[in-house]
Structure 1
């Protein structure tokens, strides 16, 4: 853990979990998370932890009844955290090997990314994507690809 101030960008996901210490360990194995800060309550619960995942900040704490809604059940999160990565297949495989549940195996998508999704054991969903073209596709090309996708012509 670093001993420097953990500076936050303008928007940061803040995950509520059960078993915060286990979640931190899982995110290190599955997503290469680095622990930047951690404050425990003295009773084995994480009051606040700051992580970086692929260069992005993520906050985490254990669920404290009455302070926040309970964490989602695995596969039932209304939010997916999207990570732009160097290789979606490799990130997907590492997360699954660490205990994540595959939700969408890696596939080439009509918008120009290789894309995959997993559900972690703590109720949160993660998407991994890398661009297949070296640039973002324009709206016309995406719309054309989507039309072909709907017709089943996407390879």
Structure 2
């Protein structure tokens, strides 16, 4: 009998302490731990959490399987990827993450596209944006606002 597959997109984060990352995501973002599989040396081979209904997979860094190259954001000098969370109370969610140890990259502000929005960096180097839709914005308003960036 074939296995039924549900299509999905899931970030798979490489971190320098998988067990601590799971604990951080539970505390900072209210994640639910789905599981963790430590290897014989104690490093996390695979872990998964659910945040806002979506699954985020993670594992400790294994440079020995990546051409000797560490793949954590810290080792790479940052990350070009930001994971976005839509939340019902962005100020409370942002404060909770900061209290848990996240670093503020951009404080929460009202944005021209209609969200209250801010950006954090977790202790493992990954960036997270948090947004709360607060008002509808017309296409015309967006175009006007975008002209300030040209």
- Interval of TM-score (by shorter of Structure 1 and Structure 2): 0.7 to 0.9
What is the RMSD computed on CA atoms of the aligned residues? Answer: 2.0
Q: For residue 12 of structure 1, what is the aligned residue in structure 2?
A: 10
Shift in Å, 1:118: 0.4
Q: For residue 71 of structure 2, what is the aligned residue in structure 1?
A: 70
8 A Cα contact 1:37 1:51, kept in partner: yes
Report SS of the residue matched to 1:89. Answer: helix
- Structure 1 residue 53 corresponds to structure 2 residue 51: yes
Determine which of 111, 118, 128 is the counterpart of 1:109: 111
Q: How many residues align?
A: 141
Runs of 5+ in structure 1 lacking a partner? 1-6
Return the alpha-carbon distance in structure 2 between the equivalents of residues 57 and 72 of structure 1. Answer: 20
Shift in Å, 1:56: 1.2
Q: For residue 89 of structure 1, what is the aligned residue in structure 2?
A: 91
Return the alpha-carbon distance in structure 2 between the equivalents of residues 105 and 120 of structure 1. Answer: 14
Determine which of 30, 34, 47 is the counterpart of 1:36: 34
8 A Cα contact 1:9 1:57, kept in partner: no
- 9 and 93 in structure 1: CA distance in 2 versus 1, 3 angstrom threshold: farther
Runs of 5+ in structure 2 lacking a partner? none
Shift in Å, 1:8: 6.7
